[in-house]
């Protein structure tokens, strides 16, 4: 039964992806959405917003003692961010591979950072780094009602179940 299999937890992992202000300014939103769509992941939430200091302080709480933290917060508040929630099998791990290394100069060609950015301080995209962190970040950036459960009609083509 298609409905039953696509609702199984292994296909319902979610991650937070955010196009950072430099990615929005550089008109890379469509390119980035296209990569996640073509891979087969399901878009369940999306919005453009000016991130508040509060949301950014929470989002980057673990980095607050780093020397680059003030510049990171200024960067992330410098313009709108496009926040998205993508769903699918192993989406947290797969999307980190699609995004590439934090330092854009080390990111491999074929990754978002490796194809479109040069420097660690302007690396155009965020992706959650674990399932637990993803759940926390999704709760920070989205209200529950902004996330849409929907059935993809190509589930069997993607997963063979
Ligand atoms: P990510 O998970 O790959 O985004 O990397 P981290 O969680 O380690 O860091 C969060 C963000 O902080 C990165 O994406 C960069 O925007 C920024 N950042 C991390 N390390 C550095 C650094 O050494 N210098 C600067 N300028 N920014 C950094
Ligand atoms: Mg991180």
pLDDT (tens digit per residue) in 67-113: 999 999 999 999 999 999 999 999 999 999 999 999 999 999 999 99
* Predicted local confidence at residue 21, as pLDDT: 99
Ligand 1 proximity of 129 Cβ (cutoff 6 Å)? yes
Ligand that comes closest to the CA of residue 117: 1
Ligand 1 proximity of 72 Cβ (cutoff 6 Å)? yes
Please tell me whether residue 65 adopts helix, strand or coil conformation: coil
* Predicted local confidence at residue 6, as pLDDT: 82
Q: At what angle do helices 91-99 and 29-39 cross, to 10 degrees?
A: 140
Give the pLDDT band (50/70/90) at residue 7.
confident
| pLDDT tops 90 at residue 41 | yes
Give the pLDDT band (50/70/90) at residue 3.
low
| pLDDT tops 70 at residue 46 | yes
* Predicted local confidence at residue 47, as pLDDT: 98
Tell which atom from ligand 1 comes closest to the C-alpha of 101. Answer: 3
Ligand 1 proximity of 120 Cβ (cutoff 6 Å)? yes
* Predicted local confidence at residue 16, as pLDDT: 99
Question: Which among 3, 59, 61, 126 is annotated as catalytic?
Answer: 126
Instruction: Return the exposure string of 75-114: e unless at least 16 CB atoms fall within 10 Å of the residue's CB, then b.
Output: bbeeebbbbbbbbbeebbebbbebbbeeebeebeeebbbb
* Predicted local confidence at residue 2, as pLDDT: 52
| pLDDT tops 60 at residue 142 | yes
Tell which atom from ligand 1 comes closest to the C-alpha of 71. Answer: 26
The mean per-residue pLDDT over the stretch 149-159 comes to 95
* Predicted local confidence at residue 5, as pLDDT: 77
Q: Determine contact, residues 9/66, Cβ cutoff 8 Å.
A: no
**ipTM value of the model?**
0.99
């Amino acid at each position: 039964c298609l409905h039953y299999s696509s609702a199984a937890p292994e296909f319902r992992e979610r991650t937070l992806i955010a196009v950072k202000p430099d990615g929005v300014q550089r008109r890379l939103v469509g390119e980035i959405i296209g990569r996640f769509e073509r891979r087969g992941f399901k878009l369940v939430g999306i919005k453009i917003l000016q991130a508040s200091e509060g949301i950014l302080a929470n989002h980057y709480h673990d980095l607050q003692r780093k020397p680059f933290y003030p510049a990171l917060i200024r960067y992330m508040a410098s313009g709108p961010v496009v926040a998205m929630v993508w769903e699918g099998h192993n989406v947290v791990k797969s999307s980190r591979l699609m995004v590439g290394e934090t330092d854009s100069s080390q990111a491999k060609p074929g990754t978002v950072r490796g194809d479109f950015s040069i420097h660690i301080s302007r690396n155009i995209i965020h992706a959650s780094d674990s399932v637990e962190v993803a759940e926390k970040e999704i709760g920070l950036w989205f209200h529950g009602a902004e996330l849409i459960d929907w059935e993809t009609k190509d589930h069997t083509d993607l997963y063979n179940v």
